[in-house]
């Protein structure tokens, strides 16, 4: 099942490379930003009870946080750059 979905996604990607479709930036940018916000919120919520000094929870820019959040940034920034430059 997962392999079939991967093949369908690959087919769609190749067909869009051959015959690109116009991008609706008015819809794409807010959805990309929403996705980034949801990903950051999920990392913060799922980071667990990392107790720091004094027994209170502290959220830091630790390696797992950065590793999960950085890949989410290109979607909204790429959409905005594409809209600005053409």
Q: Facing residues of 51 across strands?
A: 57
Question: Does residue 1 belong to any structural domain of this protein?
Answer: no
Q: Which residues contact 47 (CB under 8 A, 6 or more apart)?
A: 59, 62, 64, 65
Domain range for 32 is 23-85
Where is pLDDT greater, at 14 or 45? 14
Question: Does residue 32 belong to any structural domain of this protein?
Answer: yes
Question: Does residue 72 belong to any structural domain of this protein?
Answer: yes
CA 40 and chain centroid, separation:
9
For 5-30, the pLDDT digits (tens) are 999 999 999 999 999 888 888 888 88
Number of domains in the chain: 1
Using CB atoms within 10 A of its CB, is residue 65 exposed (0-12), middle (13-18) or buried (19+)?
middle
Report if pTM > 0.75.
Answer: no
Question: Does residue 56 belong to any structural domain of this protein?
Answer: yes
Where is pLDDT greater, at 49 or 80? 80
Cβ(36)–Cβ(30) below 8 Å: no
Share of the chain above pLDDT 90, in %: 19
């Amino acid at each position: 099942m997962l392999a079939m979905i991967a093949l369908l996604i690959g087919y769609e990607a190749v067909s869009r490379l051959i015959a690109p479709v116009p991008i609706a930036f008015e819809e794409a940018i807010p959805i990309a930003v929403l996705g980034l916000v949801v990903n950051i919120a999920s990392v913060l919520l799922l980071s667990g009870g990392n107790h720091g000094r004094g027994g209170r929870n502290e959220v830091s820019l630790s390696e797992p946080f950065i590793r999960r959040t950085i890949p989410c940034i290109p979607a909204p920034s790429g959409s905005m750059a594409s809209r600005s430059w053409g």
